[in-house]
Each structure stands twice: as structure tokens, then as C-alpha cells.
Amino acid sequence: MLPTVIVFAYLAVVLYIGIFAFRHRGAHEGAEQFFLAGRAVGPYVFLTSLFGTHMTAFAVLGSSGHAFANGIVTFGLMATAAGLITPVFLLVAGTRIWALGRRHGFITPVQMFRDRWECSHIGTVIFVVQAALLVPYIVIGVMGGGTALGAISQGAIPYWVGCAVVALVVMGYVVFGGMRGTALVNAVQTTMFLLVGTTAFLVIGYGMGGFGQTISDMLATPSQAPLLSRERISPLYFFSYMFIPFSAIAFPHIGIFCLTAKRLSHFKHTAIAYPLCLMAIWLPSTVLGVVANRATEVPAIELKLEARQMLATPGASLTPDQRQALRRQADGEDVVIQLLHYYAPVWLAGLLGAGIMAAVMSSDSQILALSTMFTEDVFEHYGGKRRFGEEAQVKLGRAFVILVTLVAYAIALWAPANIFSLATQYGFSGYAALSPMVFAALFWKRSTKWGALAVTLWAAGSVAATAVFQAVVPAPPPGQSLSVLGVASWDLIARTGTGTAVLGFAPVMPMVLVSVALMWVVSLVTRPPSAATIARYDV
């Protein structure tokens, strides 16, 4: 139980740091202090907070689990494109969001959309869709907490208890610390899991006898050699993942974080360091997920490999419930923790487990962002602040944090999907489809509120359609594809082991391209905002 004790000690320290931030002079003086930390976040905290809130459980547990099943191609799918595209978007769009926020006093992206396009209720529709799409991202943090604590304690802590512990800790420091507490905790946690990634990589590699021999053994094994190539992912599907990083600038928590920077120069430093941070966390996680396929001496991993083999056996007579149980058993999102338990000294496994928990708990910013959006885009916009005052607005924000956390916890207990697919199929894809709206608001004078509405409804409808499709059509065994709608030799729509394919592409690609077309066509045939409003953004 020593690793579990170390992790709980770490959680106590994190909770203290987050709550201590509330005691900072000025942290409780108003909405801008609570929700944006007074727009005074320094360069290191800005970098680590922004990076940490973008990664969450998806980067450690989700990436290693996906790599365990699909191979080293996971790094190319997510980390390569994100390392190139996200820093550019931060420099191009993030700096403009920061400048407009300073000039016009915006606290949320929806406030900018309303002002830019002279719309009120359409802004509310955008809020509702953004909030709904943010929920899966919050849920994966809670799911990651349950998965990580269960694995660290070797099953002594049930999944539902682990989810509850992480939800309560995050809720505690977000409620009391606001953006200042959240930013400080994220800075600590990001530093922690960046160090842990490298350390875990070295310790496990040494315990396995060196990665060189492990890789050689995998290359000599026909069933495992494809894990060291792109073979498990088709070229079209691989290419379509280039559109996933488009989601970064459309995430409301990223947009809100852009408003917290003290100086514009913080963005330059962040853009330079971001790819390095990305490589430091994604490369160890994906490599460890891949080499876990050779760790048959680890009992928990051996059971996963056996379950995977049963699922892939042609003609296996399995009931839907049996197949679902085997899928859960074969899931590899805890393989890094299992490797640590087996190859690292018990005290070091505890410290490294605490680092993994640091990555898992970075969903705090999404919870705070959702609370900020509700209080600013609904409560304040419809007169609540004028009637009840700013203090009531902050109190409502805290209450909303509690509500969102409880809802995320309930969904995490029910959610059947794994972390990687839940994030990419719903969270990332939905926000990527909203990115043309963000760029239009920032850079295209002729864009209109009706174009923004069309994009918003399309993003919501396509994500909902994907969710319904995947709920109705069972997933085929890993590595296989089931054609659902085809013409001649073309598979228009197919169900894959990890999600959905449209003409061979991941859904995110057609979602983004249709959004671009809708924003362009609908804006051209509808009336633009007034010349005075356009002039206010013509800088």
C-alpha cells in the first residue's frame, strides 16, 4: 500500500496548494480575479498551466492504452501534428484573443462572439454546444482518476472510489482557489508529470533489460512487428488526424487561459517550449504502451493479452456481454502503472504514480471554464449580475463547479468508452469542427452570426450522429473494420474497432471541411455586422 499512501499524500499537497491560492491578496475581490486570476499569470505558470490543461489523462493513460493496442503510430497520430500546429495557432489566434480580451474586457470566448457578430441568443446556442462538448473532456479526467488509483492500489481502491477521490480533490481547489489556485496546481502537476515521464521511461527500460532487446524481440515476432509501424492505421485515417489539433484554439478553457497571460510575450515562450513538453510526455507514454506487449511476466498485462487474443480469434462464439467484458479486460490504459509496479522499487512506483495522477487531474481547468462560461455567458448576460451583484456571481460559479463535477462523476461511472476514443471521437472532433468559427471571428470581416450558428449546429449534430451510430453499431474486433454503408468498392461509412470512418477518414476531417464551407457560404449570403462593429475589430 506504500504507493497508494504516497499518492494520497500528493493529493493532500495539491489540495493545499489550490486552496492556499485563495488566501492570496485580491483572489476573492471579484469575478475577474476568480475566473482569470486578474489577467496576471506569469510566463512559467502560463506555459505549464496551458500545456497541462490541454494534455490531461488523455496524454498518459489514453496514449499508452492506444499504443498498447495499435503501436507506435499513436505518437504520429496525435503528438506530431499537435507539436506542429498547436504552437502556430497559439501565436496566430491566441495572441489576438488576448489582445481583444484586454481591449474589450472579455472573460469568455462567447462574449467575444456576441460582440463581434452583434448576437445574443445565438451566443447562448454557442455556449450550450461548447459546454456539451466540454463534458467528455471533463469526464476523462474523472475516469483517469478511477483507473489510475485502482491500478496503483492493485485493485484495493475500486474504480468508483478512485473517481470520487479525484473529483473531490479537483472540486475542492477549484471552488476555493478559482483560476489562481487552478493555475498554480497545474504548474505543479505539469512539472511533476513531465519529470515522471522521463523517469518512468528509464526505470522500466532498465527493468525490462533495455528497450533495444525488447524492440528486437518484437520485430522478430510476426504478431507484434506491426506495432512498430503504421500498419494498424490506414494512410487515410492517419492523415485525417492532422485535423485533431485544430480543436486547441476552439477549446473554451484554452481561450480563457489565453486571457490570463500577463504579457503578450508569454505566447512566444509557450510556442517555443510547447513541442518539447509534448515530446517529453507523449514519447515515453507511447513507447511504454508499445513495449508492454512484451511484458508477459507481468500478470495483469498477460491477462490483457489473453483477452485481446480471444477477441481476435475468428469464429469465437462470444455473447455481447462477454465481448464487452473482454474489451474492458484488454484495455491498456493502466499498462504504464502495471509496468511501474513490476519493474520499479515500491517507493519509486509511488512517486511515479503520483506523477501520473498529476496528469490525470489536469481536467480542473475545463471544470472552471464551464463555470466561468455559465456565470458570464448566461447569468451575467441575462442580467443576473446587475440584479444580485458580483459576489453572487462568484458564489454561483462555485456552486456550478460542484454541479459539473457531480455530473462528470456520474457519467464516468456509466461511460462505456475508453479515454482515447471518448476524447478523440467527441471532445477533439467537436471542437475541431468549431475552429473555423473561431478563426472567422478573429480574422474575417465578412463573417456573420448566421455562419457561426450554422457551424455550431453542424458540430453538435455531427458529434451526436457519431455517438448514436457507435451506440447502435457494435465495434468489430481490434484491427478490423465493418462496412455499414458502401457504394461499389467504396466504404462510405464504416465502424472500426476504435470509432468511425467516413470514406476511410476519421470523422474529424469531413466535420472540419463542412464547417469551413458552411461558415463561408452562409456568411456570404447573410448580412454582416455593422460597419462600426467591424471597425472595432479591424486592427
Q: How many domains does the chain have?
A: 1
Is 307 among the domain residues? yes
- pLDDT mean over 263-279: 92
CA distances from 159 to 55, 61, 148, 149, 531 (A): 22, 15, 9, 8, 56
What's this model's pTM, rounded to 2 decimal places? 0.88
| Beta-bridge partner residues of 490 | 487
Kindly tell me if the per-residue pLDDT of 305 is higher than 80.
yes
Side-chain-facing half-sphere of 165: CA atoms under 13 Å: 23
Residue 532: per-residue pLDDT: 92
In the prediction, which pLDDT does 326 show? 83
* Among 460, 455, 428, residue whose Cα is nearest residue 523: 455
Does residue 28 register a pLDDT over 60?
A: no
Look at residue 535 and tell me if it is in a domain: no
The percent of residues in the chain predicted with pLDDT above 90, rounded, is 32
Tens digits of residue pLDDT in 402-421: 888 888 888 888 765 666 66
- Residue 209: all three cell numbers together: 533489460
Helix (H) or strand (E) holding 484: strand 481-487
Domain presence at residue 276:
yes
pLDDT in tens, 476-518: 766 677 888 887 777 888 888 778 888 889 899 999 999 999 9
Which of 31-40, 118-127, 431-440 bottoms out in mean pLDDT, i.e. has the lowest? Answer: 31-40
pLDDT of residue 416: 59
pLDDT at 25: 47
C-alpha cell at 94: 491566441
Closest of 87, 90, 88, 113 to residue 100, by C-alpha = 113
Q: Is residue 439 part of a domain?
A: yes
Helices (H), 71-156: 73-74, 81-89, 95-104, 109-117, 121-152
pLDDT, one tens digit per residue, over 141-165 is: 888 888 888 888 888 899 889 889 8
Can you give the length of the chain in residues?
A: 539
Q: DSSP 3-state assignment of 446? A: coil
Is 62 among the domain residues? Answer: yes
Q: Are 427 and 154 in contact (CB under 8 A)?
A: no
> pLDDT category, 21, cuts 50, 70, 90?
low
Ramachandran category for residue 144: left, alpha or beta (phi over 0 → left; psi -120 to 50 → alpha) = alpha
Determine the Cα–Cα distance for residues 110 and 241; give it in Å rounded to an integer: 27
Q: Which domain holds residue 192?
A: 2-313+321-444
Continuous H helices in 259-343: 265-291, 299-312, 320-330, 335-343
CA 64 to chain centre: 14
DSSP class of residue 415? -
Quote the radius of gyration of the chain (alpha carbons, Å).
23
**Residue appearing with cell numbers 487561459:** 257
CA distance 418 to 65: 9
Is 380:108 a contact under the CB 8 Å cutoff?
Answer: no
d(CA 11, CA 153): 15
Instruction: Specify if 471 maps to a domain.
Output: no
Tell me, what's the pLDDT at 420? 62
Measured CA to CA, the distance from residue 528 to residue 539 in angstroms comes to 18
Label residue 88 exposed, middle or buried (CB < 10 Å: 0-12, 13-18, 19+).
middle
Q: Within 10 A of 309 (CB to CB), how many other CB atoms are there?
A: 13
* Residue that the C-alpha cell 515476432 belongs to: 221
Residue 452 in domain: no
Measure the CA–CA gap between 340 and 272, rounded to whole angstroms.
31
* pLDDT confidence of residue 32: 78
The torsion angles phi and psi of 496, rounded to 5 degrees, stand at: -105, 170
DSSP 41: B
What integer pLDDT is reported at residue 415 of this predicted model?
A: 67
Taking each continuous run of H as one helix and of E as one strand, the counts in the chain are 26, 3
Residue type, 10: Y
Residue with cell 461499389: 488
Q: Name the burial class of residue 491, with classes exposed (0-12), middle (13-18) and buried (19+) by CB atoms within 10 angstroms of its CB.
A: middle
Give the position of cell 449534430: 461
Q: What's the confidence (pLDDT) of residue 2?
A: 82
Q: What is the CATH number of the domain that holds 264?
A: 1.20.1730.10
Quick check: is 509 in a domain? Answer: no
